[in-house]
Homo-oligomer: A and B are copies of this chain.
């Protein structure tokens, strides 16, 4: 089975999932992002790389933060962008989604950035759209959120330089998290020494070890000697279900406190995809403290998305 994401020369033309991508491709993204990262410190934070290109943000699921970083990334590459918030109504069925896509194609757009509540929505669009259009997955159901994973890898590399000596712990609702799934794949592809997941049993996938991780039900044991701590956001809308205890209970068992942080290596960094629920998954003083790199993740999100946008369009034979 060929990889839908790669062109005939094996280069990235869509960015849908970390799965199936080589260490070389992930490293190329990180290296390209590094050059854009320099740019953001300049007076004029723009390059004409994608001038005259049209990027369409198709957000079937609302997300001001992610959409804003994609819009800024497009703007700083001098592309024109168009944002459409499409409610996932009962009528937005498969067929009419395709009609929407084909209409936008006919308007000679160059890229779709897609966020959708259904896993595989990005793949479906990539399979059905014109050859010259690149598709970026900005989060699909519980499947993948690969641009978030790459900005996390960028942030880790910034602080820890290489992955092969690292112990990384991911804490929270692993079962439902598209962010965790993409992070685990990226960390393993980049050769991380040890990837740990820490969660109550009800929030771990069955046979989680097959993903290449070590599972812990105790945060105290899981945090021992790690270099990187990645907190997941607690989806409050799931709190009512039987799967999750109360917020207070959750914080008591799995919240990151100052005391627990001491179990990790002294120079461990603390990450979170945002927005933070202060006092639920993380103590406020840690989020704002010296080991937190949460706001650096936000900055890096723009450089990494600029890298992914420019690489995929270039490989699709379209960039100037």
The distance from the CB of A188 to the nearest CB of chain B, in whole angstroms, is 28
Q: A79-120 CB contact bits vs B (8 Å, 1 = yes)?
A: 010101000000000011001001111111000000000000
Cβ of A242 within 8 Å of any chain B Cβ, yes or no, is no
Cβ of A3 within 8 Å of any chain B Cβ, yes or no, is no
CB atoms of B107 and A72 under 8 A apart: yes
CB atoms of A295 and B65 under 8 A apart: no
- Cα A301 to Cα B72 in complex, Å, equals 27
CB atoms of B71 and A103 under 8 A apart: no
The distance from the CB of A35 to the nearest CB of chain B, in whole angstroms, is 15
Knowing A45-B54, A51-B44, say if A69 contacts B298 (CB, 8 Å). Answer: no
Residues of B within 8 A of A54 (CB): 45, 72, 75
Cβ of A296 within 8 Å of any chain B Cβ, yes or no, is yes
CB atoms of A82 and B68 under 8 A apart: yes
CB atoms of A44 and B52 under 8 A apart: yes
The distance from the CB of A291 to the nearest CB of chain B, in whole angstroms, is 17
Assign chain A's interface to a size class.
35 or more
CB atoms of B44 and A299 under 8 A apart: no
Knowing A68-B82, A82-B68, A278-B95, say if A320 contacts B44 (CB, 8 Å). Answer: yes
CB atoms of B64 and A107 under 8 A apart: no
| Residue from the list B43, B82, B301 in contact with A71, Cβ < 8 A | B82
Cβ of A40 within 8 Å of any chain B Cβ, yes or no, is yes
Cβ of A184 within 8 Å of any chain B Cβ, yes or no, is no
Residues of B within 8 A of A45 (CB): 52-54, 108
Residues of B within 8 A of A301 (CB): 107
The distance from the CB of A81 to the nearest CB of chain B, in whole angstroms, is 10
Q: A276-305 CB contact bits vs B (8 Å, 1 = yes)?
A: 101000000000000000011011011000
Q: Who on chain B is nearest to A47 by CB?
A: B52
Knowing A44-B320, A51-B46, A108-B40, say if A65 contacts B298 (CB, 8 Å). Answer: no
Cβ of A318 within 8 Å of any chain B Cβ, yes or no, is yes
- Cα A46 to Cα B65 in complex, Å, equals 29
Knowing A54-B72, A68-B82, say if A107 contacts B44 (CB, 8 Å). Answer: no
Q: A142-185 CB contact bits vs B (8 Å, 1 = yes)?
A: 00000000000000000000000000000000000000000000
Knowing A43-B318, A44-B320, A45-B108, say if A65 contacts B103 (CB, 8 Å). Answer: yes
A-B contact pairs, 23 of them (CB 8 A): A42-B52, A43-B52, A43-B319, A44-B51, A44-B52, A45-B108, A46-B51, A64-B84, A65-B103, A68-B82, A68-B104, A72-B80, A95-B278, A99-B274, A99-B275, A99-B276, A103-B275, A106-B295, A106-B296, A106-B298, A107-B299, A107-B301, A107-B302
Closest 8 CB pairs of A and B: A44-B52, A106-B298, A106-B295, A46-B52, A106-B299, A40-B108, A75-B80, A45-B52
